């Protein structure tokens, strides 16, 4: 990705950031194809508006630019749902730019969001996770896939963090992994015994087969010995769910949501979960407390004498 300060090839440069964002939606968040396509169209329209207004790089986008764009949409008498969707796309895009370290501030942070912006994440039950992790696949690729699935659920790591992991980031002796999150922020996350076991088997038996003649530092490698992509991780998770007989929309981030929710259900402190997830703000982690509240309500109903 070129520097956001680069003013050469203005539209192409801005489109590169849009493409990176859409790739994130598809590969890591498993957004449906029609949703990704709609966001791409909306953002390219926004980029064209920015260029017309003289904004030549993503770190020069200001709050007033976004407000002017929304005002222009309303002047065209577009449906309110269309305007809301485009604003959501812009807000998600700007948040993505900040989280990935492409820009330092979010120009949409002070703008009110449509009601559909914040939603409670879906999660898998513990039993469903167990089914996914119990899927058996043959050969070196199967061993690798199992290690990836165990790692995703053991650490709550993002798909992007998993593909960027280096062999040197894993310490099986100390049972932890060093993840580099958004903005290259480093955090140490403990590994479960099952994850350590799966990784040990992968590193000892499967990875040497996949490295072939290439000397790659990445922990996880493709069949051809190359670094993996977010889309590869999505396929691995999706295939495992299908083989496990789970008939629901599943994607890598769902294991991250499940990791956080199951920790809170088990009594983990919210601040601890925040650190494990690598969230900058506790407010981001609080979205998972809805399940914890449900658990507390159930306990209250079961044990309170007048419930």
The string of DSSP letters for 211-237 reads: HTT----BSSB-TTSPBP-HHHHHHHH
247 is catalytic: no
Based on the structure, what is the number of domains in the chain?
A: 2
Query: Containing domain of residue 292, as a range?
Result: 126-296
In a domain, 284, yes or no: yes
Question: Taking the model in full, what pTM does it have?
Answer: 0.62
Residues 153, 207 within the same domain? yes
**Average of per-residue pLDDT across 249-265:** 89
Handedness of CA 210, 240, 21, 42 (dihedral sign): positive
Give the highest mean pLDDT range of 7-11, 278-282, 295-299.
278-282
Q: Any idea what the CATH number is for the domain that residue 184 is in?
A: 1.10.443.10
What is the C-alpha to C-alpha distance for residues 82 and 170, in angstroms, rounded to an integer?
A: 46
Give the active site residue among 39, 202, 251, 288. 288
At residue 116, the pLDDT reads 42
| Residue 179: per-residue pLDDT | 92
Q: Distance (Å, rounded) from C-alpha 42 to C-alpha 229? A: 25
| Residue range 265-293: mean pLDDT, rounded | 80
What's the confidence (pLDDT) of residue 290?
63
Q: Which residues pair with 171 in a beta bridge?
A: 176
Judged against a pLDDT cut of 70, whether residue 90 lies above it is answered with: yes
CA distance 271 to 29: 24
Residues 77 and 193 grouped into a single domain? no
pLDDT of residue 7: 38
**Pair 134, 239 in one domain:** yes
The reply to whether 109 and 131 lie within a common domain is no
Lowest average pLDDT, out of 72-86, 109-123, 239-253, goes to 109-123
Task: Yes or no: say if 95 and 41 are a contact pair by the CB < 8 Å rule.
Answer: no
147, 171: one domain:
yes
CB contact at 8 A, 101 and 183:
yes
300 part of the active site: no
3-class DSSP assignment, residue 35: helix
47 and 157 fall within a common domain: no
Q: What is the pLDDT of residues 197-229, one digit of tens each?
A: 999 999 999 999 998 767 789 999 999 889 999
Q: Per the domain annotation, does 198 fall within a domain?
A: yes
Query: Is 52 in the active site?
Result: no
Which one of 60, 182, 235, 295 is the catalytic residue?
182
Question: Which residue in 86, 91, 158, 187 is the catalytic one?
Answer: 158
Catalytic residue, chosen from 144, 187, 207, 253, is 253
Among 84, 113, 142, give the residue marking a domain's end. Answer: 113
CB-CB contact of 253 with 122 (8 Å): no
The reported pLDDT for the residue numbered 156 is 94
Q: How far apart are the first and last CA of the chain?
A: 57
Question: What is the pLDDT, as a whole number, of residue 288?
Answer: 77
Q: How far is CA 146 from CA 8, 48, 163, in A?
A: 44, 44, 15
Same domain, 215 and 69: no
My answer on whether 79 and 184 are in the same domain is no
pLDDT above 60 (res 117): no
* Residue predicted with more confidence, 190 or 182: 190
pLDDT band at 30 (very low <50, low <70, confident <90, very high): confident
Q: So what's the pLDDT on residue 233?
A: 94
Domain check: are 174 and 228 in the same one? yes
What does the pLDDT read at residue 101? 86
Average pLDDT over residues 51-69: 87
Q: Point out the least confidently predicted range of 101-115, 169-183, 269-283.
A: 101-115
290 is known as an active-site residue = no
With respect to residue 145, please indicate whether it lies within any of the assigned structural domains: yes
Of the residues 86, 144, 207, 256, only one is catalytic, namely 256
Q: Taking residues 119-128, what's their average pLDDT?
A: 80
For residue 236, being part of any structural domain is answered with yes
216 with 165: CB under 8 angstroms?
Answer: no
pLDDT at 114: 55
Q: Which of 279, 295, 301, 304 is catalytic?
A: 279
Concatenate the DSSP letters of all residues of 140-159 into one string.
HHHHHHHHHHHHHHHH---H
pLDDT more than 90, % of the chain: 43
């Amino acid at each position: 990705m070129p520097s956001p300060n680069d003013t050469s090839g203005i539209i192409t440069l801005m489109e590169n950031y849009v493409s990176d964002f859409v790739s994130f939606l598809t590969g890591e968040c498993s957004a449906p194809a029609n949703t990704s396509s709609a966001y791409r169209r909306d953002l390219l329209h926004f980029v064209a508006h920015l260029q017309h207004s003289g904004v030549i790089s993503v770190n020069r986008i200001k709050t007033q630019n976004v407000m002017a764009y929304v005002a222009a949409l309303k002047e065209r008498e577009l449906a309110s749902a269309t305007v809301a969707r485009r604003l959501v796309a812009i807000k998600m895009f700007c948040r993505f730019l900040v989280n990935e370290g492409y820009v330092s501030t979010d120009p949409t942070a002070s703008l009110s969001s449509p009601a559909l912006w914040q939603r409670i994440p879906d999660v898998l039950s513990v039993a469903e996770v167990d089914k996914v992790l119990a899927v058996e696949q043959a050969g070196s690729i199967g061993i690798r896939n199992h290690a990836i699935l165990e790692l995703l659920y053991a650490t709550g790591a993002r798909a992007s963090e998993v593909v960027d992991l280096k062999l040197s980031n894993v310490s099986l002796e100390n049972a932890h992994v060093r993840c580099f999150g958004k903005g290259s922020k480093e955090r140490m996350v403990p590994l479960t015994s099952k994850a350590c076991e799966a990784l040990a088997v992968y590193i000892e038996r499967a990875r040497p087969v996949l490295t072939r003649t290439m000397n790659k530092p990445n922990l996880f490698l493709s069949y051809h010995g190359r670094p993996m992509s977010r889309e590869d991780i999505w396929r691995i998770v999706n295939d495992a769910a299908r083989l496990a007989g789970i008939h629901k929309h599943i994607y890598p981030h769902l294991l991250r949501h499940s990791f956080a929710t199951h920790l809170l259900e088990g009594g983990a402190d919210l601040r601890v979960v925040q650190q494990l997830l690598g969230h900058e703000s506790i407010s981001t982690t609080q979205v998972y407390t809805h399940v914890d509240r449900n658990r507390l309500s159930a306990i209250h109903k079961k044990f309170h004498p007048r419930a």
